[in-house]
Amino acid sequence: SDRYLVIGNPVHQSKSPFIHAEFAQMCGQDIVYDRYLVEADQFDHTVIELFSQDLKGANITVPFKENAYRLADEHSVRAATAGAANTLKKLSNGKLYADNTDGAGLVRDLTANHQISLTGKRILMLGAGGAVRGVLHPVLQQNPEQIVISNRTVEKATLLAKLFSEYGSIEGSPYEALSGHFDLIINGTSASLHDQVPPVPESLIHGDIVCYDMMYGSGDTRFNAWAKSLGAAKCIDGLGMLVEQAAESFQVWREVTVTDTSSVIDKLRASL
């Protein structure tokens, strides 16, 4: 069987081994997929060593996505725009290929699992760190009317908007200056980890807005609970994105499409 890993620090909490085992079984693919903990200063040589052995591919998680991108010989456009890779693949010529499936996972969860089109929509993106940068290109490819990025440190939002302006209408804004009608808010901040909600003006939440939190947990995330209490129509957490980015990685490695992601999402949901 072919060998795959999720590499990160920490990595014990990763649900990727479970998800890929489910996909492999569904698709009749003979693979083994394990967790691999690596120390911060050991990433490059460890990954080079693993791929020089029998490793066929890896998912890369916190805090190594930028390292993984730099280490690879070839890159997809979505990895290049993200400046980060969550997926590495050993090509048949031995070269290392970097991809980033996070944005595609988010778009697939919204459009396929929740029937929410992004085309022509006005989207508010919260946060300007790696999580947001990682998804902007695939989201812009859906041709939204506009993306507004808001961040506590507004310079980071403005910089990201500038960086992605060639792909669509996108601008940065401080939280307190946000106004107008948004169809969708995507929370890509790590505020939930600190049990906080980004300072979005309450007036932006209305009866048919969709809120998406890239984080997930056993109940509503702090952000989704906040939006629901203000009457948001629909609040979605990031569990579906997690499974869909995995399905995209599986496709990159195995050239096989996972058709039934929903059963895996359901199983994971039941285990939270």
The catalytic residue positions are 65
Q: Which residue is nearest to ligand ATR (CB)?
A: 129
DSSP assigned state of 231: T
CB of 105 or CB of 198, closer to ligand ATR: 198
Closest separation in Å from C-beta 129 to ligand ATR: 2
Phi, psi of 174 (to 5 degrees): -70, 155
For 172-176, the CB contacts below 8 A with 24+ separation are 172/128, 172/148, 173/148, 173/149, 174/150, 175/150, 175/151, 175/199, 175/200, 175/201, 176/201
Instruction: Choose which of 8, 130, 138, 172 interacts with ligand ATR (CB under 6 A).
Output: 130
- Coil, helix or strand for 55? strand
128 is in an annotated binding site: yes
Report angle CA 94, 46, 254 to the nearest 5 degrees: 45
- Coil, helix or strand for 154? helix
Q: Is 105 in the site for ligand ATR (CB under 6 A)?
A: no
- Coil, helix or strand for 127? coil
Closest separation in Å from C-beta 49 to ligand ATR: 26
Q: Is 3 in the site for ligand ATR (CB under 6 A)?
A: no
Q: Which residues pair with 229 in a beta bridge?
A: none
Instruction: Choose which of 61, 76, 189, 221 interacts with ligand ATR (CB under 6 A).
Output: 189
Chain centroid to Cα 75, Å, comes to 17
Q: Is 156 in the site for ligand ATR (CB under 6 A)?
A: yes
Binding-site annotation, residues for shikimate = 14-16, 61, 86, 102, 216, 245
Give the binding site for ligand ATR (CB under 6 A).
Answer: 127-131, 151-153, 156, 189-191, 194, 196, 198
Binding-site annotation, residues for NADP(+) = 127-131, 151-156, 214, 238
Binding-site annotation, residues = 14-16, 61, 86, 102, 127-131, 151-156, 214, 216, 238, 245
